[in-house]
Amino acid sequence: MSERADGAGVTPGSVRRAVRWPHDEAIAMTVGVALEAFDRHSQVRTEGRGGERDLFSLSYAEYGVRVGVWRLLEVFAEEEVTASFSISGKVAADHPATIRAVAGAGHDLIGHGWVNDRLMADASETDERDMIRRTLDAIETAGGRRPTGWASPGNMSSERTLAILQEEGVTFTGDDASDDVPFVEQVGGTRMAVLPKANIDANDLLQWVLPKNAPGVFADSFVATFDTLHAEGLRGRPGWADVVLHCHMAGRPTFVPTLRAVLRHVRARERVWWTRKSDLAAWTLEQDFTR
């Protein structure tokens, strides 16, 4: 069970939850990677209106599966990092060898919608069910194992999503931003782990690409977040740090030095639990981190 204000390791008067990691580590560290497909356009466009088919924008996203993912796999192998890949079903269907490579390197496979520019909140119940099942099936066919986790495109789920995911055997989701550390939610009488969006300040899209910052802004933001959480963990309140990388963004050569610097910053710190999101979710369920 998670600890409350009267539990050991919690500052008197605090109402924040506290969790424990394996071996009493001070902080959990995960690396999330988005491997995405699009129907109309990606997040990056030079001209045009939203919703229109943009061939240049689609080609920008295609860089992720043709080049970016391979560069990131090389970096992860060299830095001895096991990541969690959120994968569009269309990528798995169209590029199964890529998904086999990701799975073969020991990385997580997480469902991420069929394409990233078709939101589940806009779909009918029938279409949403079909999209979730098709995505999970395509990733399982390509990667050899069925995802146990899910992150909706844009994290924009519907009121039905959790129940549908539970019916499909999914045990954790990332469509939440209400907390710093994971928690357990009851869905249809079954427990599901919720891994809230702990990476808003360490997201290549939000910190680098969209605001047109230098890559170092991403590193500065992550280091400030990580060091704060790590210090809290050493004082008795373990936390969780996560980054999110998009293969068509972070997989470009410009970003690689920043990524290496971030990973090495964490590697140099003590009492860090490097883990995958599936393992973080399993621990959350095992320890029953309710709130």
Q: Which sequence spans correspond to the domains of the chain?
A: 22-40+51-287
pLDDT at 18: 86
| Side-chain-facing half-sphere of 20: CA atoms under 13 Å | 14
- By CB atoms closer than 10 A (0-12, 13-18, 19+), residue 20 is middle
Q: Which amino acid is at 123?
A: A
Any idea which of 150-164, 211-225, 255-269 has the lowest mean pLDDT?
150-164
Q: How confident is the model at residue 8 (pLDDT cuts 50, 70, 90)?
A: very low
- Residues 6+ away with beta carbon under 8 Å from 90: 37, 114, 115, 138
- The pLDDT of 271-280, averaged and rounded, is 98
Q: What is the CA radius of gyration of the chain?
A: 19
The answer to whether residue 112 scores a pLDDT higher than 50 is yes
pLDDT > 90? residue 233: yes
Q: Which pLDDT belongs to residue 74?
A: 98
Q: What fold is seen in the domain 22-40+51-287?
A: TIM Barrel (3.20.20)
| Rounded percentage of the chain residues whose pLDDT exceeds 70 | 93
Total length of the chain: 291
Collapsing DSSP states into helix, strand and coil, what is residue 3?
strand
CA distance 138 to 220: 37
Token code pair at residue 54: 């943009």
Indicate if the pLDDT at residue 101 is higher than 70.
yes
pTM above 0.85, yes or no: yes
The mean predicted confidence, pLDDT, of the chain is 91
Q: What percent of the chain has pLDDT over 90?
A: 75
